[in-house]
A and B are shown apart, each in its own frame.
Chain A
Amino acid sequence: MDLFEFQAKELFAKYGVPVNPGRVARDAAGAREIAAEFAAAGTPQVVVKAQVKTGGRGKAGGVKLANGPGEAQAAAERILGLDIKGHIVHRVLVTEASDIAAEYYLSFLLDRSERTYLAICSVEGGVEIEEVAHSNPDAIARIPIDPLTGVDAAKAAEIVRAGQLPAAAAEGAAGLAERLWAVFTGEDATLVEVNPLALTPDGRVLALDGKVTLDDNAAYRHDWAGFADTEGADPIEARARARHLNYVKVDGEVGIIGNGAGLVMSTLDVVAYAGEQFGGMRPANFLDIGGGASAEVMADGLEIVLSDPSVRSVLVNVFGGITSCDEVARGIVSALGMLAGRGEPVRLPIVVRLDGNNAAEGRRILDEAGIAVIEQVATMDDAARRAAELAAAGTGA
């Protein structure tokens, strides 16, 4: 789970990482109010920043300097509602504008390839680190961190030194690095990034921006309820999550339901290949109903997939490993019954491919149920082709 900047900074503050003061507003009047408070406290200069979970906000016009409440309100009016790389701005962060002497970069992240953690530090900050990696790779230090020993004062000093930060910033940056490491481990983050890490003319070092990615698997041991992103999420994805379904929206016409992450990903791909022959039909979603797909889960899954208005056909692709295909078949039959019972009978074609454990019995159950919208196909490739064909017929393509 990615956090917004203001949420990242809340976490930073909780762990003692110095940040510049600021508050978040949902409308321009709110931004004006916050700027007025800063002005009353003697700092009329503020920065109004779009809160979106993507980079390049500045270039997209999502970050503006404002002098006083009026300008802050005007800036917020221009920024709220912007579409930045597909992310709509619903909130702005209004922060005190800091005087900056220099900008650096610091992050801790999970290094998947090396199965360990990594600190990245650079004297060149304020631009995307990928750009620095291109323009001046020698300016970036990458220091592996042993998960068993972590970052103590000595390690933090080593990181800052390797990043070639000047003496004036070294002590403050090392202290910040130690506390940032505490955020990383304490919050089960896979990324904590400060860019820019700023040095002020009076010698303070603080985080002017923050990016945090949290490990969803660790949610059980944290209170992250406040970070739930209701506005930014796709509405169908949000409803699927509420039902504990593993659903991802993609922009196509063939609804997909399957068991096992790998098989479902593969099903999307195979549908996309097959769809090339049928006017470019594409998968509409990823939905993994997991191992023991009960009728309830199948009904929820079907309902979610069918609630997507772009769906023209559905492909149910199940390989029974541990799961028994007869149970899946019963799940499909009772799911369709449940939906009909709720007054939402399914009218779109559903292509079903069952294979593996007890497949023959599963196919027999579906045949005997005699449900008009269900069409059984023996192999995954043929089922994908048929589902794409039916979707194309449904769109008139």
Chain B
Amino acid sequence: MTIFLNTDSRILIQGITGSEGRKHGRRMLQAGTAVVGGTNPRKAGQTVDLGVAEVPVFGTVAETISATGADVSVVFVPAAGTKAAVIEAIDAGIPLVIVITEGVPVHDTAEFWAYACAAGNATRIIGPNCPGVASPGKSNAGIIPADITSEGRIGLVSKSGTLTYQMMYELRDIGFSTAVGIGGDPVIGSTHIDCLEAFQNDDETDAVVMIGEIGGDAEERAAAFIERRVSKPVVAYVAGFTAPEGKTMGHAGAIVSGSSGTAQAKKEALEKAGVRVGRTPSETARLVREVMRSR
């Protein structure tokens, strides 16, 4: 087992005819992932050439599911249409929606999250503003490059895309079971905790790398969760020690507000929970290496 995806995952792309949808649809197919179709209401009935294969375009998520058996949606539609796209996916009853789109207004995210909760949480949401989920050798849903690393037994959960790639690269000889980019927005679907819980229950994952950054208290909450519920070793990295107060650092959610959301507070909370925290990405990778060797 891996988390969230498996070799049978059937991916549909909302916004498959746009440049990002096409580009990454092609990359996912090349990685051996089953991309079975996508949506664009204005181009329903057409096909889109993804290099490796032509895939059908449907008017709605529901039609795509009934025609193809898709069980994962990857959303590339522009920010202005993201809320409607996610709500459509929830209404169609798809189990997993991965929202890659950057720049989604936080009111829209709060609304589609509330909508998913009201609909009974039958749809897991990852993102927005995230690189997606990659289970090397099995399935790749999103924009994480499939060739950085091979299959292995490290699980990774991160707010940051490039730090995810960096960490996968540094530990490519050991390999990863699943890497989940949860996104850097102030409101996101699945959190560090959701992923830690899934990794704890995944028999193909031996240890977890958790990458956090300034803003909010997700890392502090994750630390409390680890203390109570995670027996597998967790190594963490937190970015943003030098970030000035009150400035948004690239990610919409990466902001220290007053004395809350600092990297130092997150590091301390994690260390208090017994998590080893690296000072740099490389040191973090070395700590993971030690953990994996001692198993």
B118-155: contact bitstring with A at CB < 8 Å (1 yes, 0 no)?
A: 10000000000001000000000001110010000000
Tally chain B residues at the interface, Cβ within 8 Å.
62
Interface residue from B145, B159, B249, B263 paired with A321 (Cβ < 8 Å): B145
Find chain A residues with CB under 8 A from B234 CB. Answer: none
Given A217-B103, A269-B239, A319-B169, is A260 in contact with B161 using a C-beta cutoff of 8 Å?
yes
- CB–CB A113/B221 < 8 A: yes
Find chain B residues with CB under 8 A from A319 CB. Answer: 162, 165-166, 169
CA distance A170 to B254 in the complex (A): 38
CA distance A351 to B144 in the complex (A): 27
Given A147-B114, A190-B106, A356-B165, is A262 in contact with B213 using a C-beta cutoff of 8 Å?
yes
Q: Does A200 contact B (CB under 8 A)?
A: no
Q: Does A146 contact B (CB under 8 A)?
A: yes
- CB–CB B169/A356 < 8 A: yes
Interface hits, B207-234 → A, CB 8 Å: 211, 213-218, 221
Chain A contact-residue range equals 35 or more
Interface residue from B110, B163, B252 paired with A266 (Cβ < 8 Å): B163
A3 to chain B, nearest CB (A): 14
**Which residue on chain B has the smallest CB distance to residue A323?**
B162
Q: Does A259 contact B (CB under 8 A)?
A: yes
Given A216-B248, A261-B249, A269-B241, is A116 in contact with B110 using a C-beta cutoff of 8 Å?
yes
Q: Does A322 contact B (CB under 8 A)?
A: yes
Interface hits, A251-276 → B, CB 8 Å: 258-266, 268-273
- CB–CB B184/A261 < 8 A: yes
Interface residue from A115, A188, A269, A283 paired with B107 (Cβ < 8 Å): A188
Interface residue from B148, B186, B242 paired with A272 (Cβ < 8 Å): B242
CA distance A389 to B252 in the complex (A): 32
Interface hit among B37-45, B57-65, B90-98, B276-284: B276-284
- CB–CB B110/A115 < 8 A: yes
CA distance A356 to B188 in the complex (A): 28
- CB–CB A217/B242 < 8 A: no
Given A112-B253, A113-B221, A250-B242, is A356 in contact with B282 using a C-beta cutoff of 8 Å?
no
Given A288-B250, A380-B282, is A217 in contact with B160 using a C-beta cutoff of 8 Å?
no
A363-381: contact bitstring with B at CB < 8 Å (1 yes, 0 no)?
A: 0000000000000000111
B156 to chain A, nearest CB (A): 13
- CB–CB A265/B243 < 8 A: yes
**Which residue on chain B has the smallest CB distance to residue A382?**
B282
Given A113-B221, A185-B107, A272-B242, is A380 in contact with B280 using a C-beta cutoff of 8 Å?
yes
- CB–CB A217/B162 < 8 A: no
Q: Does A221 contact B (CB under 8 A)?
A: yes
B244 to chain A, nearest CB (A): 6
- CB–CB A262/B80 < 8 A: no
**Which residue on chain B has the smallest CB distance to residue A237?**
B247
Chain A contact residues: over half helix, strand or loop, or mixed? mixed
**Which residue on chain A has the smallest CB distance to residue B282?**
A381
Given A115-B113, A221-B80, is A188 in contact with B162 using a C-beta cutoff of 8 Å?
no
- CB–CB A381/B280 < 8 A: yes
Interface residue from A130, A246, A262 paired with B211 (Cβ < 8 Å): A262
Q: Which of A263, A264, A266 has the most CB of B within 10 A?
A: A266
Interface residue from A185, A188, A265, A381 paired with B249 (Cβ < 8 Å): A265
Given A112-B187, A188-B105, A262-B159, is A273 in contact with B279 using a C-beta cutoff of 8 Å?
yes
A142-175: contact bitstring with B at CB < 8 Å (1 yes, 0 no)?
A: 0000111000000000000000000000000000
- CB–CB A218/B107 < 8 A: yes
Given A263-B163, A269-B280, is A356 in contact with B148 using a C-beta cutoff of 8 Å?
yes
Q: Which of B211, B248, B258 has the most CB of A within 10 A?
A: B248
**Which residue on chain B has the smallest CB distance to residue A149?**
B114
- CB–CB B281/A380 < 8 A: yes
**Which residue on chain A has the smallest CB distance to residue B112?**
A147
Q: Which of A261, A286, A319, A380 has the most CB of B within 10 A?
A: A261
CA distance A379 to B143 in the complex (A): 24
- CB–CB A264/B250 < 8 A: yes
Interface residue from B107, B114, B254 paired with A265 (Cβ < 8 Å): B254
CA distance A110 to B253 in the complex (A): 12
List chain B positions with a Cβ less than 8 A from chain A: 79-80, 103-107, 110-111, 113-115, 118, 131, 143-145, 148, 158-166, 169, 184, 186-188, 211, 213-218, 221, 237, 239-244, 247-254, 258, 263, 279-283
Between-chain CB contacts (< 8 Å), 25 pairs? A112-B215, A113-B221, A116-B114, A148-B118, A185-B107, A188-B106, A188-B107, A217-B103, A258-B162, A260-B162, A260-B250, A261-B250, A262-B159, A262-B162, A262-B251, A264-B250, A265-B249, A266-B280, A269-B239, A270-B280, A272-B241, A321-B148, A321-B162, A355-B169, A357-B145
List chain A positions with a Cβ less than 8 A from chain B: 110, 112-113, 115-117, 130, 146-148, 185, 188, 190, 215-218, 220-221, 246, 248, 250, 258-266, 268-273, 282-283, 286, 288, 319, 321-322, 355-357, 379-381
List the 6 shortest-distance A-B pairs measured between CB atoms, nearest first. A262-B160, A261-B250, A260-B162, A321-B165, A218-B105, A263-B162
